[in-house]
Structure 1
């Protein structure tokens, strides 16, 4: 179990993570969602023991991972910057990773190198942006670390490479379960992989729940303006848009069977809201976003 309590990260006067409390059960794929500057990377850096929190605690099964050699070996943190030596060839990078991590699966790494069509003789400095990201994926997945953190690792990868990444991640996770945290802006592409969704906004935890529960909390209600207004009265409305006499309101909050029946009887159409759309609605706007955050608690 990974437990964070009142976690705070500051950079001078800037608060990147603000009193965040969170529990992560082992053996799940988590989607970490947040806008630019929301504190995602700062949070992940603390989880990976790349930096110490300003305040609060991080515990892995009761132990502090910071400067804990035994625990750090069980954490793989892959960032878009790719933390390897630029002049090393891919073959040397993989060899070093295998010697560094007891859990590193060298055979699987070789398989992934073939999947992403990487040249083992190439130096890291000669790789394209997409190839660097593919190498990061190889290192992250082949590490098979109990905690694997993938922070925007898809940058520069084309659609085919990204599809291969998602396919390999899911297949290897099912064969070798571990805790995986995916931080991404390509939410619709990877939402199907998430077992739980974590949304942070301005350094604070906005919500943490099962993906299916999260998806069920968003519903788009469409119909005549008066009927929509009457139905949504008293509910948490995330957004509204109108065209002529038709209005669509996006609600936060699951509808029970009776409410759904009443909506349809009033001539309203109900449709699910995608994870990305729901995330955008929940985190959009500064002042309005604050109101939404309070409404969700």
Structure 2
């Protein structure tokens, strides 16, 4: 069955604080979505609504046309992986696998045990005795092996070292190729993870400022570098994100469509056109006052 997540006018308020305001988007099966935003932007609030951990103050969150909140069938389609405090958890990884098999029919224990080997996790040691990195590796193991149509990882890499994160990223891509689903990854490690994403949802101060395919988004960001007067002249009227000056040379970071006419003008003036990373775009698109 084709899976689709649809958010319609989602708002979430805590007392007087509005965490999310009028969020709208559609997520489709077979794509990996990156959810990025500064601290306090509302990322976890949004993911909690998708996973039915929290009811939106207003608006509707639907999976395949069904409202998800307090809908057992819809909720069973979602796995929400987030940081968990295991200090009082005496069960072993093996015991958690037993529980997952009982309550999540799609759980793939064979794959889970393969991941345990990859992450070098002690399967018969109580979770509370594992390091923070191992606990995170266990969390992503449960998410990957759940085989749920919608799998959410909220800053799931915390505590993992770089080699372990690379194993996680590789498994997300391989599992998506084997069993396409909706993967949603919230992260601050944008430069490290951007190659994973098909689309990005950028949240700023509780609003969704863009949802875009990564390739399309990156095409909208570019820099122009050269003699100051020529650069200033050529970028007049364009959306400038940032500028840097070194002696008589200026570099300006721009956002928007680079038309053929404008590109020809830049080339004619012998200015340099450069690429901008997703990380740089994120920083400047979420600046105060943008």
User: TM-score category by the smaller chain?
Assistant: over 0.9
Shift of 1:85: 6.5
Cα pair 2:86 2:127 within 8 Å, conserved: no
Indicate the SS of the match to 1:251.
strand
Q: 2: distance between equivalents of 1:255 and 1:133?
A: 42
Q: 1:84 to 1:8 in 2, by over 3 A?
A: farther
Q: 1: distance between equivalents of 2:249 and 2:84?
A: 47
Deviates more, 1:108-117 or 1:238-247: 238-247
Shift of 1:26: 2.1
* Matched residue, 2:257: 254
Q: Find 2:134's aligned residue among 131, 136, 139.
A: 131
* Matched residue, 1:101: 104
Could you give the per-residue CA deviations for residues 218-249 of structure 1, whole angstroms, max 9, x where no partner exists?
00111111111111110111111111111111
Q: Find 2:184's aligned residue among 174, 181, 186.
A: 181
Q: Find 2:78's aligned residue among 70, 75, 79.
A: 75
Deviates more, 1:63-72 or 1:43-52: 63-72
Shift of 1:259: 2.1
Pairing 1:200–2:203 present? yes
Gaps of 5+ in 2: none
Q: 1: distance between equivalents of 2:105 and 2:217?
A: 37
For this pair of structures, how many residues does the alignment match?
287
Shift of 1:258: 3.3
Cα pair 1:84 1:93 within 8 Å, conserved: no
* Matched residue, 2:58: 55
Shift of 1:184: 0.5
Q: Which runs of 4+ in 1 moved over 3 A?
A: 82-85
* Matched residue, 2:43: 40
Cα pair 1:82 1:136 within 8 Å, conserved: no
Cα pair 2:119 2:164 within 8 Å, conserved: yes
When the two structures are superposed, what TM-score results if normalisation uses the length of structure 2? 0.96
Cα pair 1:97 1:104 within 8 Å, conserved: yes
Q: Find 1:169's aligned residue among 161, 169, 172.
A: 172
Q: 1: distance between equivalents of 2:86 and 2:21?
A: 27
When the two structures are superposed, what TM-score results if normalisation uses the length of structure 1? 0.94
Could you give the per-residue CA deviations for residues 257-288 of structure 1, whole angstroms, max 9, x where no partner exists?
33223212212111110011111110022xx2
Q: 2: distance between equivalents of 1:16 and 1:90?
A: 35
Q: 2: distance between equivalents of 1:97 and 1:240?
A: 52
Shift of 1:147: 0.4
Q: Find 2:235's aligned residue among 220, 232, 235.
A: 232
Shift of 1:83: 7.8
Indicate the SS of the match to 2:55.
coil
Indicate the SS of the match to 1:157.
coil
* Matched residue, 1:14: 17
Shift of 1:82: 6.1
Shift of 1:72: 1.1
Could you give the per-residue CA deviations for residues 110-132 of structure 1, whole angstroms, max 9, x where no partner exists?
00000000000111111111111
Cα pair 2:86 2:128 within 8 Å, conserved: no
Cα pair 1:29 1:196 within 8 Å, conserved: yes
